[in-house]
């Protein structure tokens, strides 16, 4: 019998890439995807994939689809607690099969201090962060489920850092991180890339293709009854492949933007905290500009390296930066 996979967020940057990757490599899987809006070309591109139409408030749809799946890959707004609870209810309480199902949940690695965090050595600390930490309420719900129902469900939490590179889906195909940096740079003093204080704050990054390698390994492990991966209390996976500090990124971005006549002065400008806080005012996340442009967020994917030999294969961030910028320029001009 074919493995039944249920995917949420299938038109997003990460979710669309996961859908494309799994459907392409494993056409034998029985895949269902929940979509809020169905792209016009979806049926022709994915003729064998079932669609249930709904959103993250569609608790009954989520629970029902999860109950029928062997593997759920939950993405999109994965901090939406009612949606996550509905999926867990379907997997744990409504499922007919005796075989414990698998949930692969998208989280994030926004841990804001200079330490390089390991998903193996620092797992006990990461698993007990305060409720105010980014993504913590959803992760806490998952860990509580592992504690209470660990014998009836296998859970993996995937925590990517900032992501770059072209996605593989049919709708959103670019990360928001580089475009937001470009947009704010264009607003400063006739166009200037920028940094805060010394610009030494450092963040981890991963190319979308490398992240898909990790997702594919986890889905394939789930198809093999979980063998080869770790789940539950140890099922926590960072996905970073490199680190770049803000000043280095700003310098490289300035050169690319000047080359393509987006800005005149490529030299990075030092900005104050007040200037940072005035950026990205339309993004409803507190202090998002501080996180994106002035914070440390560093992680090390020790678990994926140990289990899967996870190593970067895709081009690095600085090598890919021009392509990301050109995509944003094309989008700003009305292209796709």
> What gap in Å lies between CA 173 and CA 14, rounded to an integer?
8
pLDDT at 109: 80
| pLDDT exceeds 60 at position 188 | yes
Tell me the three state secondary structure of residue 248: helix
Q: Does domain 4-163+206-238 have CATH number 3.20.20.10?
A: no
What's the pLDDT score for residue 232? 96
Question: Per the structure block, which two tokens stand in for 239?
Answer: 């996905």
**Taking a C-beta distance cutoff of 8 angstroms, is the pair 317, 134 a contact?**
no
What is residue 19's predicted lDDT score, i.e. its pLDDT?
A: 98
Q: How is residue 53 written in tokens?
A: 């139409």
Contact of 81 with 141, CB cutoff 8 Å: yes
d(CA 98, CA 77): 29
Q: What is the pLDDT of residue 99?
A: 86
Q: What is the pLDDT of residue 94?
A: 67
pLDDT at position 273 is 95
Q: What is the per-residue pLDDT across 194-228, written as a single tens digit (0 to 9) for each?
A: 999 999 999 999 999 999 999 999 999 999 999 99
Query: Is the pLDDT reported for residue 336 higher than 60?
Result: no
pLDDT at 96 (0 to 100): 62
What pLDDT is attached to residue 97? 61
CA dihedral 189, 165, 8, 232 (to 10 degrees): -110
Q: Where are the beta strands (DSSP E) in the chain?
A: 4-7, 30-35, 50-53, 71-74, 102-106, 116-118, 154-159, 162-164, 194-196, 202-207, 236-238, 242-245, 269-271, 298-300
Mean pLDDT rounded to a whole number for the chain:
93
More confident residue, 331 or 211: 211
pLDDT tops 90 at residue 134: no
Read off the pLDDT band of 335 (50, 70, 90): low
**So what's the pLDDT on residue 113?**
75
pLDDT confidence tier of residue 95, bands split at 50, 70 and 90: low
Distance CA 55, CA 47 (A): 22
- What was the pLDDT predicted at 130? 80
Lowest mean pLDDT among 20-24, 90-94, 122-126, 257-261: 90-94
Across the range 255-276, mean pLDDT stands at 96
DSSP calls for 261-327: TS-S--S-EEE-HHHHHTS-TTS-STTHHHHHHH--BEEE-HHHHHHH-----SPPHHHHHHHHHHH
- Residue range 74-97: average pLDDT? 88
Q: Could you report the per-residue pLDDT of 143-187, keeping only the tens digit for each?
A: 999 999 988 999 999 999 999 999 999 989 999 899 999 999 999
pLDDT digits (tens, 9 = 90+) for 282-298: 988 888 999 999 999 99
- Rounded to 5 degrees, what angle do the CA atoms 300, 241, 330 make? 135
Q: CA-CA distances (angstroms) from residue 270 to 175, 203, 224, 302?
A: 25, 18, 52, 35
Structure letter (DSSP) for residue 60: H
Q: What percent of the chain has pLDDT over 70?
A: 97
Structural domain spans, the chain: 4-163+206-238, 174-204+242-298+314-332
Please say if the pLDDT value at position 333 is more than 80: no
Q: Is the pLDDT of residue 12 over 80?
A: yes
Please identify which residue in the block is written with the tokens 């690319």: 256
Using an 8 Å Cβ cutoff, are 113 and 204 in contact? no
30-74 per-position pLDDT tens digit: 999 999 999 999 999 999 999 999 999 999 999 999 999 999 999
CB 152 within 8 A of CB 335: no
């Amino acid at each position: 019998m074919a493995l039944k996979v249920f995917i949420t967020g299938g038109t997003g940057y990460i979710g669309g890439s996961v859908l494309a990757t799994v459907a392409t490599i494993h056409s034998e899987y029985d895949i269902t995807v929940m979509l809020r809006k169905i792209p016009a070309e979806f049926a022709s591109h994915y003729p064998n994939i079932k669609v249930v139409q709904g959103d993250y408030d569609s608790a009954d749809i989520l629970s029902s689809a999860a109950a029928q799946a062997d593997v759920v890959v939950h993405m999109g707004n994965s901090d939406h607690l009612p949606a996550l609870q509905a999926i867990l209810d379907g997997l744990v309480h409504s499922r007919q099969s005796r075989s414990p199902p698998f949930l692969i949940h998208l989280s994030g690695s926004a841990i804001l201090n200079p330490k390089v965090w390991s998903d193996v050595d620092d797992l006990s600390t990461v698993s007990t962060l305060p409720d105010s930490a980014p993504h913590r309420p959803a992760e806490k719900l998952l860990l509580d489920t592992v504690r209470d129902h660990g014998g009836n469900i296998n859970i993996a939490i995937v925590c990517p850092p900032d992501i770059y590179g072209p996605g593989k889906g049919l709708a959103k195909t670019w990360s928001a991180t580089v475009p937001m940096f470009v947009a704010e740079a264009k607003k400063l003093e006739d166009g200037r890339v920028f940094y805060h204080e010394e610009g030494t704050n450092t963040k981890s990054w991963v190319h979308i293709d490398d992240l898909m390698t990790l997702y594919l390994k986890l889905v394939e492990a789930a198809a093999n009854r979980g063998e080869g991966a770790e789940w539950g209390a140890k099922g926590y996976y960072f996905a970073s492949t490199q680190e770049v500090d803000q000043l280095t990124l700003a310098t490289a971005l300035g050169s690319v933007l000047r080359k393509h006549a987006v800005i005149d002065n490529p030299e990075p400008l030092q900005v104050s905290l007040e200037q940072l806080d005035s950026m990205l005012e339309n993004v409803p996340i507190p202090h998002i500009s501080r996180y994106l442009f002035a914070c440390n967020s560093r992680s090390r994917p020790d678990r994926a390296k140990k289990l899967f030999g996870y190593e970067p294969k895709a081009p690095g961030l600085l090598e890919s930066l021009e392509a990301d910028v050109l995509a944003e320029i094309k989008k700003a001009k009305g292209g796709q």
